[in-house]
């Protein structure tokens, strides 16, 4: 048995960036203001990149979470999508300071669910990972599947639905790498979780990511080093999230429990044990490091857009300061950081260790007073 997917992963109706149609100007500021007019909070992206603009020096040097940070109410763009706004005056001030900023949209506050389809040819995963939770009989030929366009089309075909990548009723955005972002409006009061198509914990389909609450999406019209995110067709507004897609998202664990609220992710037990082994000033040092380790561990709930590297660097800087002040053993502190990072981002141990050692080295040059709270 074979399944004809009938898609090519391309669209011949690419249009000019949204901002140029809406305002007669294709500048990043015009894109940001247009998004804000739609009710989508925006935040700056680093020029030419897909990542949020860097925090101010204070936020980099003094580890803390976005909650309670004075920079956000003061009008700074620190902490990525946490600072997103629809205030035109703040937006104009941000892009006046750096006109080359890209534009990110905070999906949760914008009430958006964006299906992010990748087009990277790669070996097929095991059949059980292709469409998580759906058994694909051995009689079904999967030989033609190459990327996310195909896995999403297969899911739609199995459900008797239209391929979402061909859904001309909603905003679709072609990415520079050949992928596609399908923008949908979530029902009010319905929260959806982010995911990546390669995750073993929560995924809609292979090479199909989900951008929702706790994440951000790159606005159409934004240009990176690889090219421009370009709107397709003529539709410029997200359609309501289709019922069948909502059902699939719920089936695959993208709907968080409404009550009770999910408690903060605890510091991993091995990391906690390492902290407990710290020398001198044990209680204060433990509380200080546990606070920043918890922020790292909580990144496990979001595969992207959680600021993992930034939070790990802050934790390492704090740990280095504790070591430099003689409040903690170097090996114990590094072990705590490595363990927390491995839980949050398995498979990235080498990169995490680089961040940890760099951050600890910088922190050790600024010994941390044991009474400091982060």
Query: Which tens digit of pLDDT belongs to each residue from 189-221?
Result: 788 999 987 777 789 999 999 999 989 999 999
pLDDT of residue 370: 53
Terminal C-alpha separation, the chain: 60
- Contact indicator for 114, 52 with CB cutoff of 8 Å: no
> Quick one: average pLDDT of 227-248?
94
Tell me how far apart the alpha carbons of residues 136 and 129 are, in angstroms, rounded to a whole number.
10
> Quick one: average pLDDT of 46-75?
87
> Quick one: average pLDDT of 19-33?
70
Q: Report residue 143's pLDDT band, with 50, 70 and 90 as the boundaries.
A: confident
DSSP codes of every residue in 188-254:
TT---B-B-TT-SSS-SBTTEEEE-BT-EEEPTT-EETTEE-EEBSS--SPEEPPHHHHHHHHHTT-
Over pLDDT 70: what percentage of the chain? 83
Which of 162-171, 243-252, 360-369 has the weakest average pLDDT? 360-369
- Contact indicator for 320, 361 with CB cutoff of 8 Å: yes
HSE at residue 278, side-chain half, CA atoms within 13 A, is 29
167 pLDDT above the threshold of 90: yes
Which of 54-63, 135-144, 234-243 has the weakest average pLDDT? 135-144
Tell me how far apart the alpha carbons of residues 66 and 76 are, in angstroms, rounded to a whole number.
12
In degrees, to the nearest 5, what angle opens at C-alpha 210 toward C-alphas 249 and 291? 105
- Helical (H) or strand (E) element with 117: strand 112-117
pLDDT of residue 372: 47
Query: 79-88, 290-299, 328-337, 350-359: which has the highest mean pLDDT?
Result: 79-88
Q: What's 257's DSSP letter?
A: -
Dihedral Cα 310, 316, 319, 321, nearest 10 deg: -80
pLDDT of residue 269: 47
20 pLDDT above the threshold of 60: no
Q: How far is CA 328 from the centre of its chain?
A: 33
In this predicted model, which residue has the larger pLDDT, 263 or 139?
139
Residue 2, Ramachandran bin (φ over 0: left; ψ between -120 and 50: alpha; else beta): beta
Tell me how far apart the alpha carbons of residues 101 and 30 are, in angstroms, rounded to a whole number.
12
334 pLDDT above the threshold of 80: yes
Instruction: Indicate the pTM of the whole model.
Output: 0.64
Tell me how far apart the alpha carbons of residues 35 and 30 are, in angstroms, rounded to a whole number.
9
pLDDT of residue 333: 82
Strand 42-45: give its sheet, edge to edge: 42-45, 102-106, 216-218
Query: 42-51, 181-190, 346-355: which has the highest mean pLDDT?
Result: 42-51
Q: How far is CA 12 from the centre of its chain?
A: 29
Mean pLDDT of the chain: 81
Q: Report residue 86's pLDDT band, with 50, 70 and 90 as the boundaries.
A: very high
- Contact indicator for 72, 83 with CB cutoff of 8 Å: yes
pLDDT of residue 139: 76
Which of 57-71, 112-126, 231-245 has the weakest average pLDDT? 57-71
Q: How far is CA 42 from the centre of its chain?
A: 14
> Quick one: average pLDDT of 308-315?
88
Over pLDDT 90: what percentage of the chain? 41
> Quick one: average pLDDT of 303-324?
83
Neighbours of 240 (CB within 10 A): 12
> Quick one: average pLDDT of 95-109?
94
Neighbours of 84 (CB within 10 A): 26
Q: Which residues pair with 205 in a beta bridge?
A: 208
Dihedral Cα 94, 210, 212, 73, nearest 10 deg: -30
Tell me how far apart the alpha carbons of residues 181 and 113 are, in angstroms, rounded to a whole number.
10
Picking from 131, 121, 105, 251, the residue whose alpha carbon sits closest to that of residue 183 is: 105
Q: Report residue 305's pLDDT band, with 50, 70 and 90 as the boundaries.
A: low
pLDDT of residue 268: 47
Q: Report residue 342's pLDDT band, with 50, 70 and 90 as the boundaries.
A: confident
pLDDT of residue 340: 83
In this predicted model, which residue has the larger pLDDT, 157 or 307?
157
- Contact indicator for 83, 32 with CB cutoff of 8 Å: no
């Amino acid at each position: 048995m074979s399944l004809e997917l009938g898609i090519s992963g391309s669209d011949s109706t690419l249009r000019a960036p949204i901002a140029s149609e809406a305002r007669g100007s294709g500048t990043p500021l015009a894109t940001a203001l247009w998004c804000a007019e739609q009710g989508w909070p925006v935040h700056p992206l680093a020029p030419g990149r897909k990542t949020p603009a860097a925090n101010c020096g204070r936020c980099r040097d003094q580890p803390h979470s976005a909650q309670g940070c004075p920079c956000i109410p003061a009008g700074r763009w620190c902490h990525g999508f946490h600072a997103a706004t629809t205030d035109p005056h703040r937006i104009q001030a941000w892009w006046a300071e750096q006109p080359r900023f890209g534009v990110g949209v905070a999906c949760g506050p914008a009430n958006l669910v964006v299906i992010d389809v990748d087009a990277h040819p790669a070996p097929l995963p095991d059949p059980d990972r292709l469409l998580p939770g759906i058994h694909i009989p051995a009689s079904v030929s999967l030989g033609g599947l190459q990327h996310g366009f195909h896995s999403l089309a297969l899911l739609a075909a199995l459900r008797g639905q239209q391929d979402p990548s061909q859904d001309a009723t909603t905003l679709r955005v072609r990415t520079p790498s050949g992928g596609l972002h399908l923008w949908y409006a979530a029902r009010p009061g319905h929260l959806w979780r982010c995911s990546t198509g390669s995750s073993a914990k929560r995924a809609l389909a292979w090479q199909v990511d989900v951008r929702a609450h706790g994440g951000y999406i790159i606005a159409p019209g934004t240009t990176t080093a690889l090219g421009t995110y370009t709107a397709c067709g003529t539709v410029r507004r997200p359609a309501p999230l289709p019922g069948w897609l909502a059902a699939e998202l719920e089936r695959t664990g993208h709907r968080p429990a409404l009550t009770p609220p999910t408690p903060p992710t605890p510091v991993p037990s091995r990391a906690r044990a390492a902290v407990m082994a710290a020398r001198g000033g044990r209680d204060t040092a433990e509380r200080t490091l546990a606070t920043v380790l918890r922020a790292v561990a909580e990144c496990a709930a979001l595969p992207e857009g959680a600021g993992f590297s930034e939070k790990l660097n802050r934790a390492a800087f704090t740990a280095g300061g504790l070591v430099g002040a003689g409040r903690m053993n170097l090996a114990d502190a590094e072990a705590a950081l490595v363990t927390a990072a491995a839980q949050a981002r398995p498979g990235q141990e080498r990169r995490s260790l680089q961040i940890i050692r760099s951050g600890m080295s910088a922190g050790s040059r600024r010994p941390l007073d044991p009474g400091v709270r982060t």
